[in-house]
Amino acid sequence: MKPPLLRILFVLVAAAAALFSLAQGDYWYLTLITAAVFVLAAFIRQGSDDTRILILASGEILVIAVAEASFWTGFIVQCAVIGAVLMEEKVPADTRDLTLFAIFCIAALLGAIILDRSNQVLLPFLLVTAMVAVTTLIFTGIQEMRERDMYAGGP
């Protein structure tokens, strides 16, 4: 099965960003190895769902390795990894998926700014993560409740 065009594009962006960060970190060989694993995972032949999980897992390791050297390059790699996982189905990509990706990038940028500018990381991280989780739970909960009210019917 041939990898989709959009995925190739995002993988190349992530790989290029990783190569760019090689000069800045101490553990350049780790970045190189994780980048190679990520590229291999993206181009290996297997079922669609397994490929996504593999790309996400190897991509997160790459994000950690790159962010160790450069926090903002790590952020770019993170966005590229999520793009490779999210958009694979068709070209041009679904408008809804593109919107979702854009919202994700903006939210991740805000989170990254908060984490980067804070004096200490733990408290802002917990705060922002809890906010995201609670917002999602409230949204999905209300949505589910509305659907049940509208369609479940009464006795």
User: Which residues of this chain interact with another protein, rule CB under 8 A?
Assistant: 48-49, 52, 56-57, 60, 63-68, 71, 74-75, 78, 82, 85, 89-90, 94, 96-97, 100, 103-104, 107-108, 111-112, 115-116, 121-122, 125, 128-129, 132-133, 135-136, 139-140, 143-144, 147-148, 150-153
Query: Vertex 128, ends 126 and 131: CA angle to 5°?
Result: 105
Question: What minimum distance in Å lies between the beta carbon of 78 and another protein?
Answer: 5
151/27 Cα distance (integer angstroms): 56
Question: What minimum distance in Å lies between the beta carbon of 144 and another protein?
Answer: 7
**By C-beta, is 44 or 135 nearer to another protein?**
135
Question: What minimum distance in Å lies between the beta carbon of 16 and another protein?
Answer: 19
Question: What minimum distance in Å lies between the beta carbon of 39 and another protein?
Answer: 18
91-96: long-range pairs with CB below 8 Å, 24+ = 91/4, 91/5, 91/6, 93/6
The string of DSSP codes covering 28-75 is HHHHHHHHHHHHHHHHS---HHHHHHHHHHHHHHHHHHHHHH-HHHHH
